[in-house]
Chains A and B, each alone.
Chain A
Amino acid sequence: MNDKNNGVSASTTSTQPLWLLAEITYRCPLQCAFCYNPTDYDKHTQNELDTDSWIKVLRQARELGALQLGISGGEPLLRPDIETIVEEANQLGYYSNLITSGAGMNEKRIDALKEGGLDHIQLSMHDITEEINNFITNTKTFKLKQKVAAMIKDRGYPMVLNVVIHRYNIDHIKEILEMAEGLGADYIELANTQYYGWSLVNRDQLMPKKEQVEHALKVTNEFRERVGNKMKVFFVVPDYFDDRPKKCMNGWGEVFMIVTANGDVLPCHSARVIPNLVFPNVNDLSLKGAWYDSPAFNRFRGDDWMKEPCRSCSEKENDLGGCRCQALLLTGDAESADPVCTKSPNRHVIDQAIKDSQNPGVEAKPIMFRTTENSKKIAEGDEKDRLAKFHATP
């Protein structure tokens, strides 16, 4: 596809960033154990881009061809300027999506967002039980979410629910789907936890058993058959239990562009874990320069960077070697095959992780919730033992 791309200098890529994800703040009142935000998010909460910078980002990305806009975080509603940003997005012709926990939503704001042209709201839900919801988010947010779901429906937005799946809710999938149906959801994403950021720190405590995943998929398929087109159900398969890796981000620098709270421009959420890669920042470089010409975006485009066994693999186009961040975090080499692949010489680290997650001694360690205090602890090296098996701080 990008066979002229030598991987380090100016790219001849013909790709366009169709999806722009604005991680507009890393501040969040929830403390979810599975959050994929970086564990050092705390350092990015002091230097957030201002409204004018975000408007500049939206304009530049739109010129590059971006169409889908996700406004995410942290909790984006902690910013008072979301309404202004949504209005600009609408005028530019984006299909805009507010990705929220519901915290900070109220009647006045949801009306203003509708008025400003917000196309849809993706609400995170956690379980049918108040107990699990409050446990995994470490906050009392169950009733809030039910209230916000009703508000979304009432204002005529498409209702899109996102449920991160882990061992504490995976056996409730049937009930979760029925709850979504009852709320009138149009779409639901059952996102099996992917292990980055906080979820990697808590991997042993979150990972379900293979049999649970298989059962969840069966239940999901039965539900799909029953409801048909009325509700779309996405089931994000957990890659650890698969024998081939996911085509992460649909390819590095192929369709996704992420701009973080402090203006870093990334090809994927967790790319900053890869050492010796300098990511462009919107304060220094245009998005056009970042997408087409930055060494970071060209680093893993196409397949010229691949090593064996990926390089000569007949299936390399299917997954492009999987996830670069997962390869780095679990093997220490961002150019190696994603260890999920059974052709990878490092597959044993995945099998060991699955075993560890079922070892009563390992899994009994307490969950580290996503808090500023824990972020500081990790940064200061207090959790060395827990993180020793990873090749970078997630």
Chain B
Amino acid sequence: MAIETSDIYKLAAHHRFQWEKAQDCYVILFPEGMVKLNGGAGEVLNLVNGELNVELITNTLIKKFPDAPDIAKDIVGMIELALDKAWIEKIN
């Protein structure tokens, strides 16, 4: 499924997203599993909150990380992966 800039996503049901001090990263928790998210992946999913669309998420992260090259492509890639793994779901 192609990701559109107007798409809005939220965390899938029964999933929890939280910052973990001991691991120094964001994690997603769900029945029988968990995923540690490396820096960039965690930053993207932290903004997948059922309110911001992909364009706004991208703009926010470009502002936050102005030196990161090709960030828009990485963001879409991360959202695609999260969708494929059913960690997030589309709401619009």
Contacts and interface: CB of A to CB of B under 8 A. Distances in A.
Nearest to B23: A65
B23 A119 contact: no
Given A158-B13, A186-B14, A229-B86, A67 B20 contact: yes
Contacts of B34: 18, 67-68, 95
Contacts of B69: none
A181 interface: no
A63 B23 CA distance: 11
Contact of A95 (B13, B23, B29, B86): B29
Contacts of B31: 97, 119-120, 122, 158, 160, 186-187
Contacts of B16: 95, 119
Contacts of B86: 229
Interface in A184-215: 186-187, 189
Nearest to A157: B14
Contacts of B23: 16, 65
B18 A187 contact: no
B22 interface: yes
Nearest to B14: A158
Contacts of B18: 93
Interface in A122-167: 122, 158, 160
A158 B15 CA distance: 10
B25 to A, nearest CB: 11
B76 interface: no
Most buried by A among B14, B20, B23, B86: B14
A234 B30 CA distance: 14
The A contact surface, by secondary structure, is mixed
A186 to B, nearest CB: 7
B23 to A, nearest CB: 6
Contacts of A119: 14, 16, 29, 31
B27 interface: yes
A158 B30 CA distance: 9
A63 B86 CA distance: 29
Contacts of B32: 97, 122, 160, 187, 189, 234
Interface string B51-92: 000000000000000000000000000000000001000000
Nearest to B21: A65
A64 interface: yes
A68 B23 CA distance: 13
A68 B22 CA distance: 13
Nearest to B33: A68
Contacts of A63: 22
B14 A65 contact: no
A97 B31 CA distance: 8
6 contacts: A63-B22, A67-B29, A67-B34, A95-B30, A97-B31, A158-B30
Interface of B: 13-14, 16, 18, 20, 22-23, 27, 29-32, 34, 86
Closest 7 CB pairs of A and B: A65-B22, A95-B29, A158-B14, A120-B31, A160-B31, A229-B86, A158-B31
Given A65-B20, A97-B32, A119-B16, 13 more contacts: A16-B23, A65-B23, A68-B34, A93-B18, A95-B29, A95-B34, A97-B31, A119-B31, A120-B14, A122-B31, A158-B30, A160-B31, A229-B86
